Amino acid sequence: MKVAILHHHLNPGGVTRIMQLQAQSLRRVFPEIEITIITGHATNPKPFEALDIPILEFPPLDYLPRSRGLEQELPELFADIINFLKSNIDRTSIIHAHNLNLGKNPVLTLALSSMVGQGYHLFNHCHDFAEDRPENMEFLRDVVEDFFQEDLQQVLYPANSNAHFATLNSFDYQRVLQQGVPENRLMLLPNPVEINKTAGSVVENVRGEICRTMGLDGNKLLITYPVRVIRRKNIGEFILLSVLFANRANWLVTLPPKNPAEVKPYQNWKDFCQRLKIKIVFEAGLKVDFIELLTASDLCLTTSIREGFGMVFLEPWLLGTPVMGRNISYVTADLMDSGVQFPLLYDEITVETESGDADFATLQMEQQQQVIGQVLQDAAFAEKVLRQNPLLLNLFDEVSGVVVENNRTVIEEKYSLTKYAHTLYEVYREMAEHND
């Protein structure tokens, strides 16, 4: 069996991480499978090279920038992508493409749809959707419909038995079903979860060292948001909680953004905290070992408003660290159905604004900063926020060892690399046996 794992780039982030785990799981359980990585930009090849997996890099597969005169380049670009793919993938291979329907490169989406009609096997692994991003959907329509005169619905969701789909959660599964993809070509494929637990046996020593390294109060709780800070991670809410409970804990966030478009708002938040003397450790993951930090933390916090799968809801439990923060119901519903318990989540934070009460996460950055500033300056306002959101007072409740152990066991059994590899192998085998 031959599998070509394809994505626009290998930049650090959720999709690349899943590609690594996918390749690792298949290598571990089915070493006979021939795996190739195909990408437009091999930013971080080392994890795949360590597995002795070849990487084919072809820049036209990367994100396609919208630019003047692009239309003139489209026919040649389409031909180049088709020729490259057909030169490196045969009809007996499974093309496992990640985020093909996000609309970051409509020409690649069209090329692979065209190849499906010619007998190639496509496994479309959906992490995110252009339907949620109007500018991406507009780009798809401009290229696929207006220029190439193709039916966008059929390009995104081909009515062809060679095109299979996978989603990360039940919400997206239903979304793809509603697009006309039958259940026999669609599967729910939760991400695998595996973490290196080498730090677990020396938490006390590690914790003291971390506090000394970063000048933290060792008598306070350590609360870490293990995230690369981008807008959908809702860092303002993390800062709000750090202000409301400054006396209870040290507050750390692990990584800066990589995307240039995210750098300015991130720096704005850092400057805001410095100006108002809000004690948050930014980029803690660059200052101490990431796994040791998560292991030594008393709690991991998430304030994210949108996730495909929500690895942050699972990984910390494997290190014995409970997860607290904002619930994303369409993500956690699947996890709770599998047996994971979440005693420290809230659904919203209601705050009073000039235009009335609102969920803090729905506010623009400037409005969030106004609320945080008012919490800092006005003790009565801060008290009102806590009264309006009584669940916040339970965020620091002790999580029993029974719950921690239950969650660790469930995650290790139901989201293991071994189970993931067997699931992938079975769908690949079924695909290879059927041709349209």
Number of domains the chain contains: 2
Residues 289 and 372 both lie in one domain: yes
Quick: pLDDT tens for 342-393.
Answer: 999 999 999 999 889 999 999 999 999 999 999 999 999 999 999 999 999 9
Same domain as 149, residue 217: no
Q: Which residue has the higher pLDDT, 69 or 60?
A: 60
Name the percent of the chain lying above pLDDT 70. Answer: 97
Question: So what's the pLDDT on residue 14?
Answer: 80
Amino acid identity for residue 431 in this structure: M
pLDDT at 435: 61
Same domain, yes or no, for 185 and 275? Answer: no
Q: Are 318 and 395 within one domain?
A: yes
CATH code, domain carrying 217: 3.40.50.2000
Q: Is the pLDDT of residue 119 over 50?
A: yes
Give, in order, the Cα–Cα distances in Å from 313 to each of 101, 136, 226, 345. Answer: 25, 28, 10, 10
* Helix intervals (H) in 195-259: 203-214, 235-244
Q: How far apart are CA 264 and CA 277, in angstroms?
A: 20
* DSSP secondary structure letter of residue 361: G
Same domain for 123 and 204?
A: no
Spacing of C-alpha 227 from chain mean position: 10
**pLDDT for position 258:** 81
**pLDDT given at position 205:** 77
Does 202 have pLDDT greater than 50?
Answer: yes
| The model's pTM | 0.86
- Is 392 found in the same domain as 317? yes
SS3 assignment for 71-93 = HHHHHHHHHHHHHHHHHHCCCCC
Do 275 and 299 form a contact (C-beta atoms < 8 A)? no
Same domain, yes or no: 328 and 281? yes
65 and 141 assigned to the same domain:
yes
pLDDT for 308 equals 82
Could you give the strand order of the β-sheet that contains 2-7, starting from the edge strand earlier in sequence? 55-57, 34-39, 2-7, 94-98, 121-126, 163-167, 186-188
**Same-domain status, 402 and 285:** yes
| Segment 14-38, tens digit of pLDDT | 899 899 999 999 999 999 999 999 9
Domain membership of residue 123 as a residue range = 2-192+416-433
> What is the pLDDT, as a whole number, of residue 204?
64
Q: Quickly state the pLDDT bin for 199 (edges 50, 70, 90).
A: very low
The percentage of the chain sitting over the pLDDT mark of 90, rounded to a whole number, equals 85
Q: Residue 225: which H helix or E strand, with range?
A: strand 221-228
pLDDT tens profile 243-268: 999 999 999 999 999 888 899 999 99
Q: Are residues 149 and 242 in the same domain?
A: no
Say whether both 138 and 220 belong to one domain: no
How many DSSP H helices and E strands does the chain contain? 17, 14
